[in-house]
Amino acid sequence: MTITENYQRIRAEVPDHVTIVLACKKRLPEEVAEVIEAGATDLGENYVQEAEKMFDALGDRTDKVRWHMIGSLQKNKINKALRVFDVVQTVHSVGQAEAIDRRARTIGKKLGALIEVNIGGEVAKSGMPPEYAEIEKLARRISGLEYLRLEGLMTMGPFYGDPEALRPHFRKTKEIFDKLATPGLPDTDLRYLSMGMSDSYRVAIEEGSNMIRLGTVIFGERPV
């Protein structure tokens, strides 16, 4: 199967309301160009430096897609990230949100923000611990920032071999997402629940995901 066939097959398989973000780490610009030609609308990158290279290599094609930061964003990389990204899916603290907002203001670019939830509460993982009060506090702060617009939540979930083991974590993230809609925070657009990858997107969609992040099932096994 080619990249185009893989993309089109999965695009046809998942419901229309589900956004597919292509996880591009370690892929070649030709491969990413192919998936854009096949109709991809959203790209995800994990590292700012790789994202800049991809962005420059793709030239005019970059205009056709929305760029998502799906890896952790270091403070010293924010300025460079702003040139490429439209959405940061890994916002996890008030300090980080304020830093992004401050830099974005200087260039007048508004960004979408997803709060990353470390739903398994794992010590070595990034993201907010799954404590609702803390997540709402961060959401309120983002809602007050002019250059960041809160668009939803993202979670990776713990790494299990079996996607069924992720189901309770996805369900819990959906509960937090729904609860966050109730205070009616101003200047927010809570639309996206970003969860599910190549091995787990079906379970994630069953549990309410409307944004899946796919690499392997589209591009094939990642080169090491």
d(CA 200, CA 140) in angstroms, rounded, equals 30
**Shortest distance (Å) from residue 70 CB to ligand PLP:** 4
For ligand PLP, the binding residue among 32, 54, 70, 115 (CB under 6 A) is: 70
Q: Could you tell me which of 16, 18, 64, 25 has the C-alpha nearest to residue 44?
A: 25
d(CA 201, CA 211) in angstroms, rounded, equals 9
Minimal CB distance residue for ligand PLP: 215
**Shortest distance (Å) from residue 212 CB to ligand PLP:** 8
Q: Three-state DSSP class for 181?
A: helix
Query: Token pair 């069924």 is at which residue?
Result: 164
* For ligand PLP, the closer CB: 33 or 217: 217
From the list 10-18, 118-126, 130-138, 211-219, the region that binds ligand PLP by CB under 6 A is 211-219
216 binds ligand PLP (CB under 6 A): yes
Q: How far is CA 183 from CA 58, 178, 186, in A?
A: 41, 10, 9
d(CA 152, CA 96) in angstroms, rounded, equals 16
Query: Token pair 């969609």 is at which residue?
Result: 205
46 binds ligand PLP (CB under 6 A): yes
* For ligand PLP, the closer CB: 8 or 46: 46
* For ligand PLP, the closer CB: 4 or 126: 126
User: Helices 94-107 and 132-143: crossing angle, nearest 10°?
Assistant: 20
72 binds ligand PLP (CB under 6 A): no
120 binds ligand PLP (CB under 6 A): no
166 binds ligand PLP (CB under 6 A): no
For residue 149, list its beta bridge partners. 112
Q: Which x/- pattern over 25-44 shows residues binding ligand PLP (rule: CB under 6 A)?
A: x-------------------
Task: State phi, psi for 150 to the nearest 5 degrees.
Answer: -70, 120
For binding to ligand PLP (CB under 6 A), which residues are involved? 23, 25, 46, 70, 156, 197-198, 213-216
